[in-house]
Amino acid sequence: MRSFGSDNNSGVDHRIMEALSKANVDHTIAYGDDKWTQEASEVISELLGNKDVNSYFVFNGTGANVVALQACTLPFHSIICASTAHIAVDECGAPVKLTGASLKEVPTPDGKLTPELVKPYLHGFGFEHHSQPKVIAISQTTELGTAYTIDEIKSLAELAHDNDMYLFVDGTRIANACAFINTGLKEMTVDCGVDIFTIGGTKNGLMFGEALVSLRKELSENIKYYRKQTTQLYSKMRYISAQFIPYLKENIWLENARKSNSAAQILSSEMAKIKGVEITQPVESNAIFFILPKEITYKLRERYFFYDWDERRNEMRLVCSWDTTNDDIYDFIKYLREITETY
């Protein structure tokens, strides 16, 4: 089956499989005290130009987000995020349950927070009857496939720091954002004033695994304990970290993101030529949001799997993967054109 349901549906890059195979030798110390984890951490530090950063490898995106937010908050704090944020919509309440903090969900037209949208939520500081704002949480790219610019991230970091808050970036698709903006990981995080962020791998060619990166000493103090409590501490850590060595060192992260972004651009441009198709969001990563008449949607689903986004207006999402081919794209377009022409 080939589909555009999710970048979670794709397989593993052969170079990552090779790295896993090479790590699968002999015995080594468990829980991250191994040479692969040390090297992967060093690679991240070199990429960010900062030897003092602390990296933690975890199983998945939800786990990475929850551990990061635990490091930033106490139970009486609040976390400000877009109403479409993964932490608000797709983590089964885990951030609230495990941090005790409340989520302040901000409606946005494109999934992106701005200082103007956040400021109305910055009140009640020092007032014990109100939860205390502590984190501005953004996703890069957003759940609507849009990308923050460097200046937009900087403005949110400045707002957070002016109010004694942290800026957290869910970087599940941060590679796609770097590819779209044509910038590096350091420029998008360290240079913008980000305090803590994640580097996604699962959706971009890894078998599994995400990296959580803390850029603040006080946030790093207790992460190892939160990681354990949140059941994100892998005993055979080398099988996560070994993947990140070539992924980052050989630029696989950026190469694969460029492939999926490019596929989305081709797919969306071809879809836009078909009568009845409405693209609803700018295509700035590997995701396409679109509206179709319901009758056509039913026919399209007979052959392709994809998710609904906004059922009220029949808005759906397609996602291209690092291994999406031109044949995948044009087979989809051919079928979509056939069913729209007979509708």
pLDDT average, residue stretch 73-86: 98
pLDDT at position 343 over 80? no
The tens digit of pLDDT for each residue in 227-275 reads: 999 999 999 999 999 999 999 999 999 999 999 999 999 999 999 999 9
At 36 the pLDDT is 98
Q: How confident is the model at residue 2 (pLDDT cuts 50, 70, 90)?
A: confident
At 310 the pLDDT is 92
At 342 the pLDDT is 84
Give me the percent of the chain exceeding a pLDDT of 70.
100
Query: Is residue 14 packed enough to be buried (19+ CB in 10 Å), middle (13-18) or exposed (0-12)?
Result: exposed
Looking at beta carbons, which pairs linking 227-233 to residues 24 or more positions away fall under 8 Å? 227/56, 227/58, 227/67, 230/63, 230/66, 230/67, 230/70, 230/98, 231/63, 232/58, 232/59, 232/60, 232/63, 232/64, 232/66, 232/67, 233/31, 233/32, 233/58
The tens digit of pLDDT for each residue in 204-231 reads: 999 999 999 999 999 999 999 999 999 9
pLDDT at position 190 over 80? yes
At 264 the pLDDT is 98
Q: Is 105 helix (H, G, I), strand (E, B) or coil?
A: strand
Q: Is 199 helix (H, G, I), strand (E, B) or coil?
A: strand
Domains, the chain, with CATH or none: 14-251 (3.40.640.10), 253-341 (3.90.1150.10)
pLDDT average, residue stretch 21-32: 97
pLDDT average, residue stretch 3-31: 96
**Which residues have C-beta within 8 Å of that of residue 302, sequence separation ≥ 6?**
none
Poorest-confidence range of 49-53, 178-182, 273-277? Answer: 49-53
> What's this model's pTM, rounded to 2 decimal places?
0.97
Q: Which of 199, 149, 139, 146 is nearest to 170 (CA)?
A: 139
At 104 the pLDDT is 98
Give me the percent of the chain exceeding a pLDDT of 90.
97
The span from the CA of 211 to the CA of 214, in Å, is: 10
**Which residues have C-beta within 8 Å of that of residue 336, sequence separation ≥ 6?**
271, 274, 277, 296, 300
Number of residues assigned to the chain: 343
